[in-house]
Amino acid sequence: MSTLFEKIIARDIPAEILYEDEVCIAIKDIEPQAPVHFLVIPKKVIARLGEAEKFDQSRLGHLLLTASQVARELGLVDGYRTVINNGIHAGETVPHLHVHVLGGRQMKWPPG
Ligand code: 5GP
């Protein structure tokens, strides 16, 4: 069965797409937690960071560089936060790896 994000990548479910290439897609989060909140998602399904393998190394790097590129394009000059929720304790809800990028307001530390 396809993951939610595979359905978005296949255009079976609509999403606001900010960027796409052969490796990943960046979409606006449907329930934004900051003025800017987008997700960078690999097209290859990796359930979560903890299940990434050595051969995913360049794919993982690509996700972070894409997060940085899209954040720059969206004008997040004062900073932004990247988050990867891995598993139950982190609050992961979609079992298809994604990097959250949140910006446009002051973030707090420690996170909840
Ligand atoms: P997680 O909780 O797994 O770290 O993050 C999943 C994210 O996916 C959440 O921030 C949630 O708002 C977002 N999300 C869930 N369903 C959809 C959807 O149908 N479209 C979009 N664009 N985002 C979604």
Q: Is residue 30 part of a domain?
A: yes
CATH number at residue 88: 3.30.428.10
Q: What is the pLDDT of residue 1?
A: 86
**Ligand 1 pocket, 31 CB below 6 A?**
yes
Say what the alpha-carbon torsion angle 54, 60, 65, 67 is, to the nearest 10 degrees: -170
Residue 112 has pLDDT above 90, yes or no: no
Q: Which residues of 46-81 are buried (b: 16+ CB within 10 A; e: fewer)?
A: bebbeebeeebeebbebbeebbeebbeebebeeebb
Q: Residue 8 phi/psi, 5° resolution? A: -70, -45
Cα of 12 to ligand 1 centre, how many Å? 15
Tens digits of residue pLDDT in 52-110: 999 999 999 999 999 999 999 999 999 999 999 999 999 999 999 999 999 999 999 99
Q: Which domain holds residue 47?
A: 4-103
Q: Is 30 in the pocket of ligand 1 (CB under 6 A)?
A: yes
Domain count, the chain: 1
- Predicted pLDDT at 86: 98
Are 44 and 62 within 8 A, CB to CB? no
- 27 Cβ closer than 6 Å to some ligand 1 atom: yes
Asked if the structure places residue 112 within a domain, the reply is: no
